[in-house]
Chain A
Amino acid sequence: MRIKFIYPALIVLIAMAAFQACKKSGSSPNSNGTGFDRVGMLKNLSTNIIIPGYVSFQASVVSLDSSITAFNASPDITKLGNLQTTFKIAYEKWQAVSTFDFGPASNENLRISLNTFPADVNQITTNVSSGSYNLASLSALPAEGFPAIDYLLFGIGADNNAILVQYTTDSQAANRKAYLAAVSAIIKTKITNVLSAWKTTYPATFLAASGTDVGSSVGQLTNELNEDFEVIKNYEIGIPAGTESMGTTFPNKVQAYYSKISLQLTLLHLLAIQNIYLGQSAAGNGLGFDDYLVSAKATYNGGSLNDAITTQFATATAKLQALSDPLANQITTNLTGVTAAYTALQLQTVLLKTDMPSALGILITYGDTDGD
């Protein structure tokens, strides 16, 4: 009698397990009535922020690459100036897409390939003089990407005339031009691959993973938003300001040290993250994490968490705006101001990394959790 009950129970068990196994690829999730429309947020972020960001960044990289080709063909002071300008534009555009280091960008290791700084000047010099290098290796990361071009275009001479000499009469001019082209080609290939994935198959994948676990799009976005925010806090500001070296400052470790646009880039970077948070784009203010937190009624210190985060974005921005480029000089002359900016960023780290995921139930690490 009892055994008869075991069979149906086992069948139910197996059926449920099978259902479990295929639920991800199964029916497409519909947005719900009263709850927050996560798919809507993902749609807004991908359609209005991520894809336009990549389109615009890729175009700037293409134009950087053709400036390099033109410069290499016949280097002169005008072309150097043009090249420096296109470089700055591409580096600025990069700040808007640095966050999205998951899916296609993660396949290309985009963030570390394009923007590991400070540049390793010794390695670059050795590579240029030997003329043989493998830029695909991990150890080559500080010798490529934007930081390497930053050095090659702004750091190898006292002024543009001196820099031009390095590409014309210098004994290693040919090698240097080849290195510049090689570094640029890698950037171009990688971003073109990323863009093409986002223009074809990836948006569907992105929208379908509408849960909140580690592999979900919201989970990945949250994780990368935090990783990228810590790039600002630690690498763009903290480490140069000596927070991780017993107070010994390293002004030359800032982002864009040679082109001296560090602060400008950091402000763009922070704005980009703020826009992702707000769902803010040229298309207007769409669904973002702010709306998500409001719908979850997340609180912080007696008020709303969204207010706290929005305020802290404003505070951090104001502290950064109180500084001026070159940031490296500010670290030497106005360390208090730099430290104040750092402290503002640090509080925001807590809100974005701890309060936000916890209020939304977003899993940010893998591994099983305790169940009932």
Chain B
Amino acid sequence: MLNLIKEKFSLLNKPDRHIAPLAVLRMAFGSIMLVSVVRFLLKGWVYAFYIKPKYHFTFYGFDWVKPFDAMGMYLLFAILIIASILVTIGLFYRIAISTFFLCFTYVELIDKTTYLNHYYFISVMAFLMILVPASRYFSVDVLRKPKLKITYVPRWAIDIFKLQLFLVYFFAGLSKLNYDWLIAAMPLRIWLPASSHLPVIGGLLTQLWVAYLFCWFGALFDLSIGFLLLNPKTRKIAYLLVIVFHLATAWFFKIGMFPYIMIFVTIVFFSENTHRKIINYLGNIFSKANTISTTDNINSFYQISVSKKRIIYTLLVLHFTIQLLLPFRYLLYPGKLYWTEEGYRFSWRVMLMEKGGTVFFHVKNPQTGKRTEIINSQYLTDFQESQMSTQPDMILQFAHILAADYQKRGIKNPIVTAESYVTLNGSGSRLYIDSAANLANEQDSFDHKKWILPFHNNN
């Protein structure tokens, strides 16, 4: 099986594709990352998300990831800014993109409170970009060392990005094929009327049929856009759809940079001619670069050693195998996915849930039988508390934080319970966690969490 895939890859290995799409992708990704990181800083989120909180919710197996002090965190973001600039202009590219990947992923691993598919997507893209020679054309690296310049790369170097984007859209579409989205028009029938103050279309958003239209169009868009972008005949109209669709979501929902990132990176689907024209155009603006990079009088081909190739192929096969399987891991868990969220993350599930919760934690002294209710805000920020209250693994982590804190205060083996109420897609709140379970004794794992109460639809 593995050999077969490897063989397929070697077919993709002939350096017969022009490198221009990679150079454009490098600049598009680098520049939009620069904007994203600067925006994050200007919003004060480095402080709010990574410096202010006393505790953090790390990912399973990543509890060694700790935030740095204020100075260190800002330094990390300074490095991200520099790395984004270097990636954009193509200077010390491999070091820059590797640094970006590592620093960005580290920041994301500090606290799952801030987890977004967008951030995961950025990490994945940055990882893939480490593997390709994106700065060997139209870059400062080439200006610096002209002999680095190449004009042709194997097609896998470009196609891995198309594949990745295809998977993102397609899985996002698959995840919409369910009752809540298609039949109940949830959560859009809640979210769209919330934007009824918008000019021009505000009134429309309160209509139920508009919510259905959005749901069905959204699912159809996600499922088909990958195919439409791949097909040269439909590509232009598909890209127009990408722009309209993402701008519409940007307008209605608070989803930050994601729409713009997608609009930028899906340019990679265009033909190499289009990309060469983009580069020519940019070259005309920066006339200095123009003199050396856009004329391809000598063709040179991307060559790498067999051992390097082997490493890259292995990484790619591993990566895409994981990408294909990860979104289906939820099938291994019982219960309603949106309710338990077991196997929910890292699966391109977006905009599927309007979920809210309130949780009261109680710490009981087993010696005296006396118990105390926790004021969550004494431990967590508002953002952490609201994310925690609907996600079982975070509830468990917070219970452990409380157990450790009360242990330190001299209570031996404190009993920590959670009285937790959650509402999902307009269901109305109901008990979420078994209030009798001593969460201090429960360990996180990939197993099903038996102390999550099943979701009963009683409406």
Contacts and interface: CB of A to CB of B under 8 A. Distances in A.
A238 B372 CA distance: 10
Interface stretch (B187-195, B296-304, B325-333): B187-195
Nearest to A238: B373
Interface string A181-214: 0000000000000000000000000000011110
Contacts of A372: 172, 218, 222, 245-246, 249, 255, 350-351
Interface in A146-183: none
A350 B358 contact: yes
A248 B245 CA distance: 57
B358 A349 contact: yes
B198 A23 contact: yes
Interface stretch (A51-59, A77-85, A296-304, A329-337): A296-304
A201 B354 CA distance: 35
Contact of A360 (B48, B116, B190): B190
A79 B165 CA distance: 78
B254 A355 contact: no
SS class of chain A's interface: helix, strand, loop or mixed? Answer: loop
Interface string A310-322: 0000000000000
For A2, A299, A354, the residue with the greatest tally of chain B CB atoms inside 10 Å of its CB is: A354
Residue from B207, B382, B389 having most chain A Cβ neighbours under 10 A: B382
Contact of B203 (A35, A213, A300): A35
A212 B193 CA distance: 10
A65 to B, nearest CB: 33
A229 B412 CA distance: 34
B256 A300 contact: no
B89 interface: no
A29 B49 CA distance: 33
B47 interface: no
A292 B192 CA distance: 15
B271 A346 contact: no
Given A20-B251, A369-B255, A370-B351, A6 B274 contact: yes
Interface residues of A, number: 65
Given A30-B203, A212-B197, A354-B422, 17 more contacts: A2-B273, A9-B240, A12-B247, A27-B199, A29-B197, A32-B202, A32-B203, A243-B372, A302-B458, A302-B459, A355-B423, A367-B114, A368-B256, A371-B256, A372-B245, A372-B350, A372-B351
Interface of B: 45, 48-49, 114, 116-118, 172, 187, 190-191, 193-199, 202-203, 205-207, 218, 222, 236, 239-240, 243, 245-247, 249-251, 253-260, 263, 267, 270-271, 273-274, 277-278, 281, 349-351, 354-358, 360, 365, 368, 370-375, 382-383, 386-387, 389, 421-423, 426-430, 458-459
Interface of A: 2-3, 5-6, 9, 12-13, 16-17, 20, 23, 26-27, 29-30, 32-36, 38-39, 210-213, 234, 238, 243-248, 296, 298-302, 305, 308, 346, 349-351, 353-355, 357-372
